[in-house]
Amino acid sequence: MLGYDKPETVLEKITNIAKQIYVRSDDRQPIVDKQLQQSGITQHYNHYRRADGSEFFANLYLKTIRDKAGQPLYLEGIVEDITERKLQEDAHEATARFITLVNTPSDLRKCMSDLTSSLQLWSGCEAVGIRLRAGDDYPYYETRGFPPEFVDEENSLCAYDPDGKILRDGLGNPFYECMCGNILSGRFDSSKPFFTASGSFWSNNTTALLASTTDADRQTRTRNRCNGEGYESVALIPLRYGDQVFGLLQFNDHRTGRFTSGLITNFERMADNLAIALSRRRAEEALRESEERLREFFEHETSYCYRISPDGIILDLNPSAMLALGYPSKDDLVGKSIITTVYAPASQDRARQLLLRWKETGKLSDEEITIITKTGEERTVILNVSAVRNIEGRILYSVSIQTDINERKMAEVVLRAKMEELQRFQRLTVDRELNMIDLKKEVNMLLNQAGKEEKYTIIDEKKVKE
């Protein structure tokens, strides 16, 4: 338990129990003083150090051995290693705190700053970082304890070609460098001791790891910047929601031996629970930002824009729609059925069919339909509809955009009438030309009979018809 090969070595090497075995040397004397006042067996919880410097938690059961006169001779004890149990209990408590922290209403950036601070304190590591997906990359969203220059140099994980373009695999996915890239891409070999079955990486001595393994063992060519900065203990834990890895937790320390397999397992359990809360929080944040952009779009878009519930109820509409429909206030329309309020009577059955199709597919494209204003004027619009969903994929509402083509439709009607009029005129003109040709032929024939020269050159009738 203490990391020595035999009892004799313990007696030889341990010359000061308080300083060599107790993590906090001042903890020992109060335990001894308390035990000497007791007659039975007492239990004491404490934090101990092994020969290699690694730490563990244990229950110490002590009994005072006394002489016949009742004077203490020595203390006899049993040590029970409870490190794994203690770590699990701490992890459960910490996870609950972290999830509460993530779910607390606040700016996401501040939330993540508080989270990294709490992770640093709980893990005891000098530096903690959180990477989250942003576009094609996984930059640090928040860090605690890393030097600024380290964060700047390691922020991007994408590999680039000489032209500055992101390198991609055969499927078009970006190639991510270093060990962080392995974890985020799912490149790991769980038969190697530094990878886990859940896809995490950990090492208590990166210098020894680099000296004893190859790039092939490590699944990629590593940048080795963590080791270059003197970090010996490094753990990288994926943040996974469903089958998608959207980020990772990073724990670094200059000291060796900071992790155990049990602690890494607890990191993974905590990360799995944290990932659910983080994924939901990011989705809510994205939805909030999307709604802000939508409100901005609503206010300035000249097309008629609506937010419609899955039941066809108007939730919101923009000023352009209100102006076109002739209603002075949103209150005249919000909360009412778009089918019976906005669409013309002859288009309402089709509107119902389109609503059903949208609920099935989540979108509608370039559907021509007729709306009706408050005064009864009908206008033709082109309808395009998309769906806004929550994190579970349930439709919250539609974003419906109507592009007014009434003027175009009227222009098309006028154009069609003019074309028909032109065609009628052309037919009359052709008939007149054909009659003239027949008349000219008769004149030429009479001139021939009179022995005179023909007066008219006859045009081919086929050309006239063309």
Instruction: Tokens 């700016």: give the residue.
Output: 107
Return the closest-CA partner of residue 50 out of 90, 78, 9.
9
What's domain 7-81's architecture?
A: 2-Layer Sandwich (3.30)
H/E element holding 386? strand 378-389
Cα 174 to chain centroid distance, Å, stands at 16
H/E element holding 98? helix 83-103
Half-sphere exposure of 340 (CA within 13 A, CB side): 6
Q: Which long-range contacts (CB under 8 A, 24 or more apart) does 214-217 make?
A: 217/189, 217/192
Q: Are 348 and 340 within 8 A, CB to CB?
A: yes
| Cβ neighbours of 268 (radius 10 Å) | 21
pLDDT in tens, the chain (466 residues): 888 888 888 888 888 988 988 888 898 999 888 888 888 888 888 888 888 888 888 889 999 988 888 888 888 889 888 877 877 777 677 767 777 766 777 677 887 888 888 888 888 899 999 999 988 999 999 999 999 999 999 999 999 988 889 998 888 889 999 999 999 999 999 999 999 999 999 999 999 999 999 989 898 888 899 999 999 999 999 999 888 899 999 999 999 998 988 889 888 988 888 888 888 887 777 777 877 887 888 888 889 999 999 999 999 999 999 999 999 999 999 999 999 999 999 999 999 999 999 999 999 999 999 999 999 999 999 999 999 887 677 898 999 999 998 877 776 666 677 667 666 666 666 566 666 666 667 667 766 766 777 766 766 555 545 5
Distance CA 292, CA 210 (A): 49
At the topology level of CATH, where does 302-404 sit? Beta-Lactamase (3.30.450)
**Full-model pTM:** 0.59
CA distances from 174 to 98, 121, 159, 188 (A): 31, 34, 8, 17
Cα 203 to chain centroid distance, Å, stands at 28
Distance CA 155, CA 139 (A): 5
Distance CA 173, CA 137 (A): 11
Cα 107 to chain centroid distance, Å, stands at 17
Q: At what angle do helices 261-300 and 83-103 cross, to 10 degrees?
A: 10
Evaluate whether 7-81 and 86-286 have a shared fold.
Answer: yes
Task: Map 9-48 to HEC letters.
Answer: HHHHHCCCHHHHCECCHHHHHHHHHHHHCCCCCEEEEEEE
Q: At what angle do helices 108-123 and 83-103 cross, to 10 degrees?
A: 170
Query: For 86-286, which CATH superfamily applies?
Result: GAF domain (3.30.450.40)
H/E element holding 339? helix 338-342
Query: What are the sequence ranges of the domains in the chain?
Result: 7-81, 86-286, 302-404, 410-465
Please classify residue 353 by burial: count the beta carbons closer than 10 Å to its beta carbon, then call 0-12 exposed, 13-18 middle and 19+ buried: exposed
| 432: DSSP letter | H
| 180: DSSP letter | H
H/E element holding 174? none
* Helix, strand or coil, per DSSP, at residue 385: strand
pLDDT at 457: 72
Phi-psi region of 256 (alpha: psi -120 to 50; beta: other; left: phi over 0): beta
pLDDT at 229: 94
Alpha-carbon radius of gyration of the chain: 41
Return the closest-CA partner of residue 238 out of 205, 193, 275, 278.
275
* Helix, strand or coil, per DSSP, at residue 414: helix
Distance CA 33, CA 26 (A): 12
